[in-house]
Amino acid sequence: MTALEGKVALITGAARGQGRSHAVTLAAAGADIIAIDICHQIDTVAYPMATPEDLEQTRRMVEDQDRRILTHQADVRSLAQLQAVVEDALAEFGRLDIVLANAGIAPSIDQEDDLSAAFANVIDVNLTGVWNTVRACEQALIEGGTGGAIVLTGSTASFKAVGAGSAGSSAEAYIASKHAVVGLMKAFALKFAPHRIRVNSVHPTGVATPMVLNEAVEAWIAVNADALAGSLQNALAVELIDPVDVSNAILWLVSDAARYVTGVALPVDAGFTIK
């Protein structure tokens, strides 16, 4: 029997990048998947966001693992949309065991942008979206009666002011949202402990995904090279980690191997935060 045989996992931001990797990794471990992504552009995001075609690719990759998958285009900023997804998922699978609140956006990095709108969008997706995701799944997890596991996606920016003070950056919103995810995780861990639902967070360094590997980020790093010199380097000799490195940490956190691990903010950062 595989580690997650018979389990059902809901994942936001699942069309590509880390979310897709989590979906495939958990499916390979035996879980059926509910994959959610907005699949359209938010106007203050400088890089291209995921598409419906990306979400369909995730579907195919999960099905290649001989697991079932339900895909939905939904916006984590809308609690009602997420609640509708959970209702549909319960009708399809009859249970919910694992929740990965992974959806997130990076801030606008254009000085010409409306910084107020960019700040609001980052907070709405990266923080309120996480809260909405857990709230939408709460009743299903509790009423399942068998416990469960929730993992929130943070960042090394949950611990350090990564990129703050760089010209042209509205990194304040990203740093604030990711710091707040840690507090939210700890509050949820206490709230759900009586129901045997564990809550943790993961905090990656730079990951080789479309959020990082794009022309907008490359241009920002080039313009701010002097201010950023050395500040984006990991302790281990790797520039970017792979999405599966984060997925493997999550797989452990949601498995019975971590059955008494809750309230933990786990760096997956190649030593970035010890520098």
Question: What residue ranges define each of the domains in the chain, with the CATH number in brackets?
Answer: 8-266 (3.40.50.720)
Q: Do 133 and 113 contact (CB within 8 A), yes or no?
A: no
For 134, counting Cβ atoms within 10 Å of its Cβ (0-12 exposed, 13-18 middle, 19+ buried), the class is buried
Query: What single-letter DSSP state applies at residue 274?
Result: G
Distances (CA, A) of 124 to 116, 130, 173, 216: 12, 9, 10, 21
Which tokens hold the place of 197? 């639902």
Q: What is the pLDDT of residue 253?
A: 98
113-116-121-122 Cα dihedral, nearest 10 degrees = 90
Q: Which residues are catalytic?
A: 174
- The amino acid that residue 46 corresponds to is A
Which tokens hold the place of 63? 């099905």
Q: What is the pLDDT of residue 167?
A: 44
- The amino acid that residue 140 corresponds to is A
Distances (CA, A) of 233 to 19, 30, 128, 148, 155: 24, 35, 30, 35, 14
- The amino acid that residue 108 corresponds to is S
- Give pLDDT tens digits for 189-206: 999 999 999 999 999 999
CB neighbours of residue 146 within 10 Å: 11
In sequence order, the 6+-apart residues with CB closer than 8 A to the CB of 194 are none
Per-position DSSP letters for 50-79, written without gaps between them:
--HHHHHHHHHHHHTTT--EEEEE--TT-H
Q: What is the pLDDT of residue 245?
A: 98
Q: Please indicate, yes or no, whether the overall pTM of this predicted structure exceeds 0.85.
A: yes
Q: What is the pLDDT along the chain (275 residues), one digit of tens a residue?
A: 589 999 999 999 999 999 999 999 999 999 999 999 999 999 989 899 999 999 999 999 999 999 999 999 999 999 999 999 999 999 999 999 999 999 999 876 665 567 888 899 999 999 999 999 999 999 999 999 999 999 999 999 999 987 666 544 568 899 999 999 999 999 999 999 999 999 999 999 999 998 888 887 777 666 665 555 556 789 999 999 999 999 999 999 999 999 999 999 999 999 999 98
Q: How far apart are the first and last CA of the chain?
A: 41
